[in-house]
Copies of this chain bind each other. A is one copy, B any other.
Amino acid sequence: MFAIGQASKQSGVNIETIRYYEREGVVPKPGRSAAGRRLYTSDEIAKLRFVKRCRDLGFPIAIIQTFQSLSGEEHRPCTDVKLIADQHLAVVDAKIDNLVNLRAALKNLSENCDNGTATCPMLEALMSDEPTK
């Protein structure tokens, strides 16, 4: 059995975040010592690690909860999991596209912004009536 600090180190999840996950029901409530301190089993720490990995992949918490209920089911969850993952992949793709466009616009603005004029061309562009595109 491990105290919350150990659980944090082993899972990579911040202590405050662990307590937050417990409040929100993302992970089950651990047992407590006589003095009321949380005590984690290795399994519970593995669950924290699972949540952390999913979060690092950008899955929202609601979806992680779906994963957990799927992994406990009888019928093979693979199709469901893949579907969710692929939907998430599409979201990530859209985000990347957006950021790449944004980056181009930003770079374009920035590159026209070093000609030493009194008025900044970048601010002018942002304030003008023409759409930036």
Contact = CB atoms under 8 A, between A and B. Distances in A.
Interface of A: 46, 49-50, 53-54, 56-58, 67, 70-71, 76-79, 81-82, 85-86, 88-89, 92-93, 95-96, 99-100, 102-103, 105-107, 109-110, 113-123, 126-127, 129, 132
User: Which DSSP category, helix, strand, loop or mixed, fits chain A's interface?
Assistant: helix
Contact of A58 (B102, B116, B126): B102
A103 B89 CA distance: 6
Given A89-B107, A92-B99, A96-B99, A81 B123 contact: yes
Contacts of A116: 76, 78
20 contacts: A50-B126, A54-B126, A56-B102, A56-B132, A57-B132, A67-B123, A70-B120, A71-B127, A76-B116, A76-B117, A76-B119, A78-B122, A81-B122, A82-B113, A82-B122, A85-B106, A85-B122, A89-B103, A96-B100, A96-B103
